[in-house]
Chain A
Amino acid sequence: MHKNIEREILNLISSGAKVLDLGSGDGALLAKLAEKNIEGHGVEIDSKRLIVSLSKGVSVTQKDIDRGLSEFNNLGFDFVVMANSIQCLRRPHEALNNIFEIANECAVTIPNFGFWKIRLKLLKGVMPVSKSLPAKWYETKNIHLCTIKDFEELCFEKKITIKKKFYFNENYMPLNSVLISRANLFAAEAVYHLEKQ
């Protein structure tokens, strides 16, 4: 995760919160939370990444998010993070439901498939490869890519409130105010702070 995106996520989490990080990767965000004395726990499917997480002193559970998350319900988590993971899930919409059984607030990040460079690649007739989506089509773990417009529509349908959103260009800089209104075309990544209505 890029520092700028990590910073925005960390800013959303209040100091006393207990955080569940879904798709915690090598535990980098959990380690940052620990530095800020925020209690966190990670969920990750890949054992190699989990083992790296152990070297950061964080606690993790090996688990496929697609298999449900009910064991984390009612465990006092205040905040869920799902960064750069939702597009890898078989049932991303169900994961969103599950998240709000665990906590009332969450941060979700998505790579925006509506980004103009991606559209251009598709116009040229090839699957896009970019900074946010570095793998070739046959190697990618991303099976449910969406655009900013798609994701915000899903939130609307699911009655999920978007409390805050942050759009980034391909260099992970915040989109300038002129481009924000055309974020679906100009943002490469989006970070959402979501809350259940």
Chain B
Amino acid sequence: MKIEQCSFRYEGKFSLLNGESIEGFELVYETYGELNAEKNNAVLVCHAFSGSHHAAGVDPTTDKPGWWHEFIGPGKAIDTDKYFVVSPNNLGSCYGSTGPLTVNNVTGKPYGSSFPALDVYDWVASQDLLRENLGVKAWEMVLGGSLGGMQALEWSISFSGKIKKAGIIAATALVSSQNIALNQVAREIIRKDIAFENGDYLLANKKPKDGLKVARMLGHITYLSETNFKNRFGRKLQDAENKIDENIDFEVENYLRYQGEKFSEYFDANSYILLTKVMDTFNPAARFNNNIVEALKNCIAKLLILSFDDDWLFPTQYSKELHLAAIKAGVHSSFIELSGQHGHDSFLFTSDDYTSAISNFLNHA
């Protein structure tokens, strides 16, 4: 599989949905497979909240496989012998695309907490500029899970003519107040970290690692299911030699602490706050009197809406409601609930049903 690590620089003024703007931006992205001569085999893969553009293949420097490695490749659900897959890192994130870590040319300092609030629409608009730059008339398919699925939905509504199919997986048209509440706790934990310095920790040469760590621990609980925790950890006690510290009794505690610790090393706190806000405020129907059916009347793409039965963060009901709105709007839409083993995170793991659903839809819809 041909893998390329690329960067797209947009020099013009980029207006955001909230009226603000940024002076140009950079999107880092990876591509898998090759764009054909007709440029009609391009598939856009959108990452979830804390994901990156490294979706497939094995990163040569870190040795890490991409987050959808099992789905993208020769002979896989998204077959790179046939399709050219593009995976960008979103604006506001911290893996190389323009975001809070980027130096603001006007002030000469990193944006930090002053990075403007973003909407999923802005991500999609920036991805659309990348599409144009690649010379792709329309994506054969745009897909992703969770916040990635929300981007696929935004594409279907706001840039419908530029995509043929969308895969909206473990996603929703509107997050619930429970989702917002959980994100709010995470944001508060980060803000209360003494090293956060009101978001200006970069200038103070600090990093609010403790806040990030606990926020991630909370997030991680919501990404899995009760059954998953039960099967993996049960009430097993942590063995002494691998204990992170003496306060730990159970294996699940050690696991969460380890996950949080690891995450706090590489993720940026301002990005965390910014991206959770993007999730909370996502409302593609806002420009259509909050009527999702009206919004979807713009959609000429075919939709595949998938949910997982053990996802309690974005439960099946959200996907069903979105699908029914699509049907009401006259959209060619299919909805299937799949059996999951990893709660909300099930969208990251292959199963025969899951991969067949994606490849059948991609190849035949």
Contact = CB atoms under 8 A, between A and B. Distances in A.
B198 to A, nearest CB: 48
Contacts of A54: 304, 334, 356-357, 360-361, 364-365
B333 interface: yes
B353 interface: yes
Interface in B321-354: 323-324, 327-328, 332-339, 353
B363 interface: yes
A61 B360 contact: no
Contacts, number: 50
Size band of the interface chain B makes with A: 20 to 34
Contacts of B207: none
Given A56-B364, A62-B335, A62-B337, A51 B327 contact: no
A21 B287 CA distance: 34
Interface in A50-96: 50-57, 59-62, 71-72, 75
Given A61-B323, A61-B327, A75-B328, A51 B336 contact: yes
A62 B333 CA distance: 11
Interface in B289-314: 302, 304
B333 A47 contact: no
Nearest to A62: B336
Contacts of A51: 336, 353, 356-357, 360
For A47, A48, A51, A57, the residue with the greatest tally of chain B CB atoms inside 10 Å of its CB is A51
A193 interface: no
For B335, B336, B339, B361, the residue with the greatest tally of chain A CB atoms inside 10 Å of its CB is B336
Contact of B332 (A47, A59, A62, A75): A59
B337 A55 contact: no
A60 B337 CA distance: 12
Contacts of B302: 59
A47 B360 CA distance: 13
A60 B363 contact: no
For A48, A62, A72, the residue with the greatest tally of chain B CB atoms inside 10 Å of its CB is A62
B50 to A, nearest CB: 29
Given A54-B361, A60-B334, 7 more contacts: A50-B334, A51-B356, A51-B357, A55-B364, A59-B333, A61-B327, A62-B337
20 contacts: A47-B336, A47-B337, A47-B353, A48-B353, A50-B357, A54-B334, A54-B356, A54-B357, A54-B365, A57-B364, A57-B365, A59-B333, A60-B334, A60-B335, A60-B336, A61-B323, A61-B327, A61-B334, A62-B337, A75-B328
